[in-house]
Amino acid sequence: MEFEPVIGLEVHAQLLTDTKIFCGCSTRFGAEPNSHTCPVCLGMPGVLPVLNKKVVDYLLKMAMATHCTINRESSFARKNYFYPDLPKGYQISQYAEPPAEHGWVDIETEAGKRRIGITRIHMEEDAGKLIHDENSPSSYVDLNRTGVPLIEIVGDPDIRTAEEAAAYLKRLHEILVYLEICDGNMEEGSFRCDANISLRPVGQKAFGTRAELKNMNSFRNVQRGLEYEIKRQQYILESGGVVVQETRLWDDAAGVTKSMRSKEEAHDYRYFPEPDLVPVHVDDKWLEEIRSAMPELPLEKRERFVSQYQISPYDAGVLTSGRALADYFEEVARLSGQPKAAANWVMGDILRLLNEDKKTVVECPVTPTNLARMITLIQDGTISGKMAKDISEAMYTTGKTPGEIIEEKGLVQITDENALAAALSEILAKNPDQVAQYRAGKDKLFGFFVGQAMKATRGKANPQMLNDLLKKMLSNQE
Amino acid sequence: MELHQLTIHELSEKLRSKETSSEEITASTFGRIDAVEKDVHAYITLMKETAFAEAKRADEAIKKGECGVLTGIPIALKDIVCTKGTLTTCGSRMLSNFIPPYDAAVIEKLRAAGAVFTGKTNMDEFAMGSSTETSFYGTSRNPWDLERIPGGSSGGSAAAVAADECIASIGSDTGGSIRQPAALCGVVGLKPTYGRVSRFGLIAFASSLDQIGPFTKDVEDAAIMMNVLAGYDNRDSTSSIEEVPDYRQFIGKGIEGWAVGIPREFFVGGLDPEVEKAVRQAVKTVEEAGARCVEVSLPHTEYSLAVYYIVAPAEASSNLARYDGVKYGFRAPESRDLLDMYKKTRSAGFGTEVKRRIMLGTYALSSGYYDAYYKKASQVRSLIKRDFDEAFTMCDAIITPTTPTPAFRIGEKTGDPMQMYLSDLFTISTNMAGIPGISVPCGYSASGLPIGVQFLAAHFQEGRLLQIASAYEKQANIEKRRPNL
Ligand SMILES: [Zn+2]
């Protein structure tokens, strides 16, 4: 029997607000343990949560970017469970009335394009962290992360392969980062993914028994974890067994998933409406504010780049992989008036230099103005492409303008035909044997004359002009 | 009359006219505490030292002519409101070492108004009880009969006012915890509209029902206290932006032409004959004051107790989850592991009634039971609210008994939680609906125990409530007795 995997992903994205979701504490990562805390996020008696409006702004952005229906009223709920990293003994989340539902994103894999549904997006608070001391029987609690805002993006069970799961995740990640509402750092846990996965015989409508998969902290691990889990469940089903409903952890080192807790051990979260918060009302004005501030999203931008700049979809993909890079490219294209050359230079030398230094385009010492200027100088023949390579590297290391560098290095091309002709005459006169051989049909010697000419002009000869002139002079039988 | 026996408005007059000083009033009050506290046990913590410092500051302010309405007035605080730097136990072993690093919003307001804090008063553990008998710190006594309970959960605050161990006090009311002890101790107790007073710093029992309010010696003092306590607070999302009127302007206004509703369902079997007689007399008094009494119906009243004992414990089971021994408060020693620490801490830190309600609430919210209990209760709750909304289209205020009986004996109901719960029968539906209510003394039983009458008004109609309460108080002119301590 052939089986079909049914996969739904739950993504938690930490939002880039300055302050926490229900108090004024900083959300900055990496501070001294428990230094970003106050009575509210410590869950002290008598304190109350107050919703950070920015969190709603960010949720609305994500909801719009993923084509969700936005509910004008949503409410908070308490999710109750005991754990030391959860100071109140409950997490404030949203349950019965989510703010956004029924969205989708398009993904593309080897198998083609597919649309993956989004069940809902809601806001909630993050928990703290436990720090275990290997040398002591105690554990410590760091509550800096407690109350950092999260959105949970619950996907429909539309995904059928591990590859699709990774593509879907990358799409969400890209949108979140583009919207500048999440830094997308999977290692630090600001972008986390759990997966629900079950198998069913191909053609069957009803879902099989699912396992929930946790602890996959990279795109690769999500793919590996799901691939492993598909095989594991397939093996069980093919050998006549039954899949048990449970939560399983991905063990990266061992490359396997391991049972964490069974359905019987699952928490009963006892959700109920959060009485300390009032429902969130989103009115037209608020929606319009968000809508008008929405940036162009990566997919739209990609399509626009292809049509507007006549560049390949691949190039457009590279150039839109980040908002800052896309902006950089567009600025160079606009200032130089040469989008294709701009694309080549940005994707070629600039990205290579940045990658070597592990820098991002925001930190690039070559300003769009300088790069555009250089492209213009190539176009008008002032410098050659080869010179430009040197100039771009010099701009990158010194931050100087192309004009300054050309001046310093004396790099201006010789474009004066008479001057160049004089130089060539001299070379031909000095090498009568080679001239004779060339004229006798030894074409390869053309390169020799070019080399000599470049040497004589210290590389400043305009290559095109040199070629043309040389050909003309060599073919002139004396 | 001694200074500690006077009301806020009487003392304010004397302070303003420099006839006395806050230090004298404070000394008089602590003198009274020294004399009767061992019998009454109204307080868990006394704040004598800071009180005298505050009194001194108040006197300096008065000298400079900066005399607020509460400047120099000794006020007692239920031990459920957080006081920065002062032990706040909520009547529980769980918080027996908890010193809040912040003041509740009402404390800030009272401080700003110049109040002198006498101490933190006894209460049922986490406000769960109607007698103070569930307190980890022992039972407070009813000043009118030391063998009887003062009511609860704000029993200490009511007893302190009745015994003149303070001039006024702060309580909190989730199902009657201000009005019931006020009635049983013969003082005025007002529960404001839900959202009228900030809950910031009020240790939560049932968040959707809890509300802070005053205990005072007369209705005018209640208006003075409300002027200080009421108002929007951006730290409490459920606090209302509704404008706060000057409540004092409603005092002495009269109620000629008012329609006063008498809910059919409140004069039922189980109502003590002496209470019924006193409240019927109060109805007559209200009519004498010029109001017309109309019968109204609150048909869902009979479910209010059942609804309350689902909603309140459900919220409490979640609100009290934070007491786990990890961050503050009591932690049981010598635990094997995390689960063991949780179990030992919560077993030893909470008393029986609190555990009973946590279990009730946990059950009501459990998967498979939520719809049948919590959800159904929430639906009935909206019906109870609608009953009141409809009733208030026909009347300006409602009059009912505050409690079914006068104060009962210590230990009389501890063995039977249902009997204890019934003592909140007439007060609970008010919290369900979120409307304001006030209990005013309306007489004494044959054995000399105080009896209270309750007035209710529509949302944010504390003004009207105070108007009818003060009109009644004036018209009834109940003989002013003092407990024999
Ligand atoms: Zn905080």
The ranges assigned to domains in chain B are 3-256, 302-379
Tokens 């007489």 locate to: B443
Q: CB–CB of A270/B316 below 8 Å?
A: no
Q: A469 CB contacts (<8 Å, ≥6 apart)?
A: A417, A420, A421, A424
Q: CB–CB of B391/B296 below 8 Å?
A: yes
Token pair for A341: 């050359």
Residue B393: Cβ-neighbour burial (10 angstroms; 0-12, 13-18, 19+): exposed
Q: CB–CB of B16/B62 below 8 Å?
A: yes
Return the bridge partners of B211, or none. Answer: B173
Question: pLDDT value at position A424?
Answer: 85
Cα distance between residue A80 and residue B318, in whole Å: 7
Q: Is A378 left (phi over 0), alpha (psi -120 to 50) or beta?
A: alpha
Instruction: Answer whether B370 sits within 8 Å of A84, measured CB to CB.
Output: no
Ligand 1 midpoint to CA A25 (Å): 4
Q: pLDDT 10s digit of each residue in chain B, 485 long? A: 899 999 999 999 999 999 999 999 999 999 999 999 999 999 999 999 999 999 999 999 999 998 888 999 999 999 999 999 999 999 999 999 999 999 999 999 999 999 999 999 999 999 999 999 999 999 999 999 999 999 999 999 999 999 999 999 999 999 999 999 999 999 999 999 999 999 999 999 999 999 999 999 999 999 999 999 999 999 999 999 999 999 999 999 999 999 999 999 888 777 899 999 999 999 999 999 999 999 999 999 889 999 999 999 999 999 999 999 999 999 999 899 999 999 999 999 999 999 999 999 999 999 999 999 999 999 999 999 999 999 999 999 999 999 999 999 999 988 888 777 888 889 999 999 999 999 999 999 999 999 999 999 999 999 999 999 999 999 999 988 999 99
Picking from B319, B336, B359 by the largest number of A CB atoms within 10 A of its own CB, the best residue to mutate is B319
Q: Which residues of A touch B326 (CB under 8 A)?
A: 84, 87, 141
Q: Which residues of A touch B328 (CB under 8 A)?
A: 44
Q: Does pLDDT of A478 surpass 60?
A: no
Q: Which residues of A touch B374 (CB under 8 A)?
A: 272
What percentage of chain A carries pLDDT values higher than 70? 99
Q: Does pLDDT of A414 surpass 70?
A: no
Question: pLDDT value at position A135?
Answer: 84
Active site residues of B: 78, 153, 177
Q: Which residues of B touch A87 (CB under 8 A)?
A: 322, 326-327
Cα distance between residue A300 and residue A179, in whole Å: 13
Picking from A21, A37, A42, A48 by the largest number of B CB atoms within 10 A of its own CB, the best residue to mutate is A48
- Of residues B414 and A68, more confidently modeled: A68
Q: Which residues of B touch A39 (CB under 8 A)?
A: 100-102
Chains A & B: contacts with CB separation below 8 Å = 101
Write out the H or E segment, with its range, that includes residue A67: none
Question: pLDDT value at position A193?
Answer: 95
| Single-letter amino acid code for the residue at A144 | N
Token pair for A325: 């890079």
A42 interfacial to chain B (CB closer than 8 Å): yes
**Residue B253 DSSP label:** -
In the structure, what pLDDT confidence band is assigned to residue A402 with cuts at 50, 70 and 90? confident
**Residue B132 DSSP label:** S
Q: Does pLDDT of A376 surpass 70?
A: yes
Pairing of strands B292-296, B259-263: parallel
Most confident segment among A81-90, A261-270, A397-406: A81-90
Measure in Å the smallest separation between the Cα of B360 and chain A Cα atoms. 13
- Of residues A383 and A323, more confidently modeled: A323
Query: Which residue in the set B200, B328, B365 is minimally distant from A272, CB to CB?
Result: B365
Instruction: Answer whether B318 sits within 8 Å of A270, measured CB to CB.
Output: yes
Instruction: Answer whether A46 sits within 8 Å of B367, measured CB to CB.
Output: no
What percentage of chain A carries pLDDT values higher than 90? 71
Q: CB–CB of A225/A257 below 8 Å?
A: yes
Measure in Å the smallest separation between the Cα of A26 and chain B Cα atoms. 17
User: Angle, nearest 10°, between helix axes A432-439 and A417-430?
Assistant: 100
Q: What is the ipTM of this complex?
A: 0.96
**Residue A350 DSSP label:** I
Ligand 1 midpoint to CA A20 (Å): 7
Question: pLDDT value at position A386?
Answer: 80
Arithmetic mean of pLDDT, A456-476: 80
Instruction: Answer whether B366 sits within 8 Å of A89, measured CB to CB.
Output: no
Q: Does pLDDT of A407 surpass 80?
A: no
Q: What digits encode the pLDDT tens for the residues A85-116?
A: 999 999 999 999 999 999 999 999 998 999 99
Instruction: Answer whether A47 sits within 8 Å of B374, measured CB to CB.
Output: no
In the structure, what pLDDT confidence band is assigned to residue A390 with cuts at 50, 70 and 90? confident
Cα distance between residue B123 and residue A190, in whole Å: 45
Ligand 1 midpoint to CA B113 (Å): 28
- Its pTM surpasses 0.95: no
Question: pLDDT value at position A294?
Answer: 95
Cα distance between residue A468 and residue A473, in whole Å: 9
Length of chain B: 485
Q: B373 CB contacts (<8 Å, ≥6 apart)?
A: B310, B314, B363, B364, B365
Query: Which residue in the set A46, A50, A268 is minimally distant from B104, CB to CB?
Result: A46
Domain A417-475 classified CATH 1.10.10.410?
yes
Question: pLDDT value at position A477?
Answer: 59
User: Which CATH number is B3-256 given?
Assistant: 3.90.1300.10
- What residue spans define the domains of chain A? 3-285, 296-409, 417-475
- Of residues A21 and A414, more confidently modeled: A21
Q: Which residue of B has its CA nearest to A86?
A: B322
Q: Which residue of B has its CA nearest to A78?
A: B318
Q: Does pLDDT of A288 surpass 90?
A: yes
Q: Which residues of A touch B206 (CB under 8 A)?
A: 275
Write out the H or E segment, with its range, that includes residue A36: none
Q: Which of residues 65-124 of A touch B (CB under 8 A)?
A: 78, 80, 82, 84, 87-90
Average pLDDT, chain A: 91
A131 interfacial to chain B (CB closer than 8 Å): no
The 3-class secondary structure across A101-165, one letter per residue, is: EEEEEEEEECCEEEEEEEEEEEEEECCCEEEECCCCCCEEEECCCCCCEEEEEEECCCECCHHHH
Q: Does pLDDT of A334 surpass 60?
A: yes
Question: pLDDT value at position B374?
Answer: 95
Q: What per-residue string of b and e applies to A57-74 under the rule 16 or more CB within 10 Å gives b? A: bbbbbbbbbbebebbeeb
Q: A444 CB contacts (<8 Å, ≥6 apart)?
A: none
Instruction: Answer whether B322 sits within 8 Å of A87, measured CB to CB.
Output: yes
Tokens 């952890």 locate to: A249
Q: Which residue of B has its CA nearest to A85?
A: B326
Query: Which residue in the set A87, A89, A275 is minimally distant from B207, CB to CB?
Result: A275
Q: CB within 5 A of ion ligand 1: which residues? A: A 23, 25, 38, 40-41
Q: Does pLDDT of A150 surpass 60?
A: yes
Q: Which residue of A has its CA nearest to B104?
A: A46
Classified as helix, coil or strand, A120 is strand
Question: pLDDT value at position A387?
Answer: 80
Write out the H or E segment, with its range, that includes residue A49: none
Instruction: Answer whether B202 sits within 8 Å of A89, measured CB to CB.
Output: no
Question: pLDDT value at position A341?
Answer: 92
